[in-house]
Chain A
Amino acid sequence: MSQFIRATYAIFWKALRTEWRSREIFSAMFVFALLAIIIFNFAFDLRVQNIRQVVPGVLWVSITFAGMLGLNRSFTVEKENDTLSGLLLAPVDRSALYFGKMAANFLFILSVAVIIVPLTTVFFNVNLVRADLLLVLLAGTFGFAAVGTLFSAITVNTRAQDILLPILLFPVVLPVIIAAVKLTAGLLEQLAVADLANWWRLLIVYDIIFLVIAFLTFEYIVEE
């Protein structure tokens, strides 16, 4: 077990270090999220009476679209020198690879989200910088990364992988996005905790179910 954790941690740390040196994935995700928010701002500016109502949607669409870019790269980088084979040669359970990658993707997407929130606050003049929103960001990006990592391991072995990933991923993660948008909106409207309990429950149940199923099926994706 400790070897499993050690390997998971090594894969996670390796992803952070290579990303830190190239900053390829993070910068692309960040710039994309920023662009999305600016475009939404123009799109809604003249038409929407109460901008507050669209902000939760804008925020989550930007995060998930940007996250998609990062997920697309997650396993592509392992193809470059066939390091994926190198990882699969190691005498360690395949799910260590899944968990290590998932943790790294989760962290990348979460940090984009955390940076994009204050910017959204500025551009839309709606105060989103608050502690309880961080919980929504955590739970929302977690579920997204849990399924996204698995699907990115699928699409890396398909034709037209960049196009396929969003088509596979969006309908599946939709419940998590819906719940996250509803929770964000609820927090903005100062709804009571009890009113949001159902959405919280849904989001957390979703996170757990999908992490477990991704863990159970990952082995079938990488075997040959």
Chain B
Amino acid sequence: MQRTSSKWLVMSTIIAYAAVIIALFMGFKAPAAVNVGTVQLQWAQRIIYFHVPVAWVFMLSFTVSFVASIVFLITKKRIWDLVALAGVELGLTFATAAVISGSIWARPAWNTWWTWDPRLTTMAITWLLYVAYFMLRGAVEEPERQARFAAVYSIFSYISVPITFFSIRLARTIHPLLVKGNDFGLAKGMRPAFFAGLIAFTLLYIVLLWHRLRVLQLASRVEALRARILEQEL
């Protein structure tokens, strides 16, 4: 059983990484943004083919964690705690990537690495919320209790994100908005690369989640076996 699943996993991993490389390559080949002034800024703008998919994936990942946390509290099945944990781990990783890529873009575009714009502020808070999630897990010894506490906190984190987002939305943002009403702010020629990026990074996310879950499950099995051995020695 382990054999076949790992064969599929290896194949999917190769496909996902290939898709990401192709998508990023398409990003380089896509037509330059016409509404951007200098050539340097036009190249900087190409970071959206990384920045947007990565930002989409971190939101997806926190959503996965939120749903898994609710399911865990209802069913008390350990696997859902592992899904929630993997979701936060990957979510935080991609969120960090989104922040860094955004910051790199902000430097030429806004002439600063960071500004307390609403979108960036929300991001910083989101990031802190999920860092706190790990601190909470680290502070609880017993696995079952750790899982319960983490699930409750993950629900709170997830719900406070949109509220925080809305709360600072009341102020104006300088962050570009891709979707305004029915408008889609991307020229026709840029769209294939853009959507290829979204699909490729989603694939990558699914594969990484799969990997992480497998490792977490193995780790918990090792832990169980070790406990059993220790017990026999007693």
Contacts and interface: CB of A to CB of B under 8 A. Distances in A.
Direct contact of A and B (CB under 8 A): yes
Interface of A: 147, 150, 154-155, 157-161, 164, 167-168, 171-172, 174-175, 178-179, 198-199, 202, 205-206, 209-210, 213, 217, 220-221, 223-224
A40 B184 CA distance: 47
A171 to B, nearest CB: 5
Nearest to B135: A167
Interface string B93-135: 0000000000000000000000000000000010011001001
Which 6 residue pairs of A and B lie closest in terms of their CB atoms, listed nearest first?
Answer: A158-B139, A171-B129, A175-B167, A217-B152, A171-B128, A159-B139
Interface of B: 73, 125, 128-129, 132, 135-136, 139-141, 145, 148-149, 151-153, 155-157, 159-160, 163-164, 166-168, 170
B146 to A, nearest CB: 9
Nearest to B165: A175
Contacts of B164: 174-175, 178
A157 B142 CA distance: 10
Contacts of A155: 139
Nearest to B76: A220
Contacts of A159: 139-141
B156 A172 contact: yes
A220 B163 contact: no
Chain B interface mostly helix, strand, loop or mixed? helix
26 contacts: A147-B156, A157-B140, A157-B145, A158-B139, A158-B140, A161-B139, A164-B139, A168-B132, A171-B160, A172-B129, A172-B157, A174-B125, A174-B160, A174-B164, A175-B160, A175-B167, A199-B170, A202-B163, A202-B166, A210-B159, A213-B156, A217-B73, A220-B148, A220-B151, A220-B152, A221-B148
B139 A160 contact: yes
A150 B132 CA distance: 16
A168 B153 contact: yes
A159 B140 CA distance: 6
A206 B163 contact: yes
Given A158-B140, A158-B149, 7 more contacts: A154-B149, A154-B152, A164-B135, A167-B132, A202-B167, A209-B159, A209-B163
Contact of B125 (A154, A164, A171, A206): A171
A155 B145 CA distance: 12
